[in-house]
A and B are shown apart, each in its own frame.
Chain A
Amino acid sequence: MFPTPLERTSRTWQIGYQSLLPVAVIAWLLPLLAVAMFSIKPSSDFTGGDYWSWPSRFAGFENYGRVFMDSPMPRYILNSFMITIPTVIGAVALSCMTGFALGIYKFRLNLFVFFLFIAGNFVPFQILMIPVRDLTINAGLYNTKLGLVLFHIAFQTGFCTLFMRNFIRALPFELIEAARVEGITEFQIFWHIVLPLMKPAIAALSVLVFTFIWNDYFWAVVLTQGPQAQPVTAGITSFNAQFGVAYHMLSAGSIVAALPPVLMFFLMQRHFIAGLTLGAVK
């Protein structure tokens, strides 16, 4: 292991390291901690120009309460879920199929199609903006969650295919051959053999796509408007407009908006990290 494992180092460095860790974390997360503190300060602290002192009293309940009761935030969060979850399902399903096709079969255009997906994944999405917007408008899907979901599924397919294909590639090909010798059809192979084996990849990818989509702002702005379809990332800007300079409210709102992916990360940490590395590194 590099650097030298701690237990092999001098006693002073061990203690130094152990005490450095929390300091480093606090410094690293300082901006975030500040926001967290803002979010539990009462508004009177701010009007008094007193931004940095300890909250004069704990106002977390009323601040967060207002976020949920007095603002469209719950609606936006709901939208985010209604956009994110179908996208995750759709993108993962599509890429299981494309990944299977590209990972298992040898055909002339295999690499070409695969590279097409990868290239698409890296395209600056601004170049898609105008046509996709027109497309969505013409399909009558402008300002609908469905419009956003369909686009996200399509765009994520590039990345997901890369991920799934590499994962399937790493499965022992003998499994497929064994099945073929046993007279199992290609669809059965996909359904009964490959799919169950892809569970870890599916889990990792789902978590990953979840955060990607949840955090999307650009397309939310381009393809939706207003609380009936917009996700929370875009919603937070109107939330800002509503609460103007009420920093305690804005902080609470930001924290609420950031919470689901953070929770997701903590609950699914292993999958998440597996996803990041698996997807990228083969």
Chain B
Amino acid sequence: EGLSGELRIFSDMSNPAPRAVMEGMVERFGAMHPDLDIELTVIDREAYKTQIRNFLTADAPDVANWYAANRMGPYVNAGLFEDVSDLWAEPDFANLASTKGAMTIDGKQWGVPYTYYQWGIYYRQDIFEELGLTVPTTFDEELANCEKIVASGRACYTIGSKFLWTAGGWFDYMNMRTNGYDFHMALARGEVEWTDDRVRATFANWRKLIDMGGFIEDHQTYSWQEALPFMINGEATAYLMGNFSVPHFRDGGLSDDQLGFYQFPAITEGVAMAEDAPTDTFHIPSNAKNKEAAREFLRFVVSAENQTMINAGDALGQLPVNAASSVDDDKFLEAGFAMLSNDSPGGVAQFFDRDFSAEMASAGMEGLQEFMVYPDNLDDILERLEAVRQDIAQ
């Protein structure tokens, strides 16, 4: 049976590559359903985060992008996302088992994932070679490397923390490596005090990098894109980032010979490695008008064939959520796929601002940014965050 009517899709895939992917998907879906009138609205990724609340209540599209896990909580609780457990009950969805947890709240599923991606350290292979460095696997090696890099007049890491979340990535890794996945998630749920000694240990480790001049200066004035040129120009050698950054590196002129990837090294011995792998999702707003077409679109998005196509290296360059799809022949994708499948025994986290509640995330990331600039303020920062945690807990 042919779908008809209008299908309105709001997407936050506003960077050039994802935008092309999204438009491609709409085109192919449209070709499959010629009677369906699809209207795609792409909204700036940052702006989207504030606007979703408006359009979900006011001007709901039929399909909308969002993020998994805690981040979708408020909308689920407010009844703004459609329960799509029925889709997940379909046989084809069995292949999505790995992400089912992230899509589940109260035992029901509220959307479908379309991509996820590994986080890790992207680095300048050529500079490592030039300095005679090897890929570190422990924090001590990392520190040693960094010392040499700093000595060469470079920074070890570039980062642009103006919009705060990049600092969240650093904290995720420092904390998961220092205290482990379970502790990290407990902290995220607000079950642990921020002033806890274990949290302090995390910051102490992080501080080592800061104190030695590991990060570029003035990162608080840059967005993550604005921090890219530091690495591209060789003023910094590495970037803790999600895999979506690869096209940017390539656009900036780095060849695959120059750009490498490694897993964030271990810190505390015996702590199982856990990774950040944020899952990006599609949802059907409760107020959608054409839910039938929307469900069909969701099925289309997660289909193995589509997953292969959109996550390919020349497209999103990320990992498919469907086990039946194939990972593109791309060194970063393969590395990521391998890392997440095999080397992440501790668990997979979504990301700081998706695992922590919105309020905690906002206050938290601000504190993290401050810490990166003024590590001496740590006590003050932690007390503040603790106050927020207690406030939320009430």
Contacts and interface: CB of A to CB of B under 8 A. Distances in A.
Partners in one complex: yes
A227 B229 CA distance: 29
B51 A244 contact: no
Contacts of B50: 221
B44 interface: yes
A143 interface: yes
Interface string B208-249: 000000000000000001101100010000000000000010
Contacts, number: 61
Nearest to B160: A245
Interface stretch (A16-24, A32-40, A235-243): A235-243
Interface residues of B, number: 27
B55 A225 contact: yes
Contact of B229 (A133, A221, A228, A245): A245
Contact of A143 (B15, B42, B59, B225): B59
Contact of B59 (A47, A142, A227, A242): A142
A49 B15 CA distance: 23
A172 B113 CA distance: 71
A179 interface: no
B58 A244 contact: no
A140 B45 contact: no
Nearest to B252: A47
Nearest to B19: A242
Contacts of A65: none
A143 B10 CA distance: 13
Contacts of B41: 226-228
B44 A238 contact: yes
A242 B248 CA distance: 12
The B interface, classified by DSSP as helix, strand, loop or mixed, is: helix
Given A49-B233, A241-B44, A245-B228, A142 B55 contact: yes
Contacts of A138: 58
Given A49-B233, A140-B59, A241 B46 contact: yes
B55 A143 contact: yes
B225 A226 contact: no
A241 B57 contact: no
Given A226-B42, A238-B47, A133 B15 contact: no
B5 interface: no
Interface string B38-80: 0001111111101100110111000000000000000000000
A137 B41 CA distance: 18
A227 B42 CA distance: 8
Contacts of B43: 225-226, 238
Given A237-B47, A241-B45, A140 B233 contact: no
B242 to A, nearest CB: 16
A192 B59 CA distance: 44
Contacts of B253: 47
A64 B46 CA distance: 25
Interface in A39-71: 47, 49
Interface in B6-41: 10, 14-16, 41
A137 B233 CA distance: 47
A242 B47 contact: no
Contacts of B47: 221, 225, 234, 237-238
A128 to B, nearest CB: 16
A242 B51 contact: no
Interface in B297-314: none
* Of A47, A140, A238, most B-chain CB atoms within 10 Å: A238
A237 B42 CA distance: 13
Contacts of B51: 225-226
A49 B51 CA distance: 36
26 contacts: A47-B253, A49-B233, A136-B58, A137-B54, A137-B57, A137-B59, A140-B58, A143-B58, A143-B59, A221-B50, A225-B48, A225-B51, A226-B10, A226-B43, A226-B51, A227-B41, A227-B42, A237-B44, A238-B14, A238-B47, A241-B46, A244-B228, A244-B248, A245-B225, A245-B228, A245-B229
Given A226-B43, A237-B46, 10 more contacts: A47-B229, A133-B54, A136-B58, A143-B54, A143-B58, A226-B41, A227-B42, A238-B44, A244-B225, A245-B228
Interface of A: 47, 49, 133, 136-138, 140, 142-143, 221, 225-228, 234, 237-238, 241-242, 244-245
Shortest beta-carbon contacts, A-B, top 10: A238-B44, A137-B58, A142-B58, A244-B225, A225-B51, A226-B43, A241-B44, A226-B41, A142-B59, A245-B226
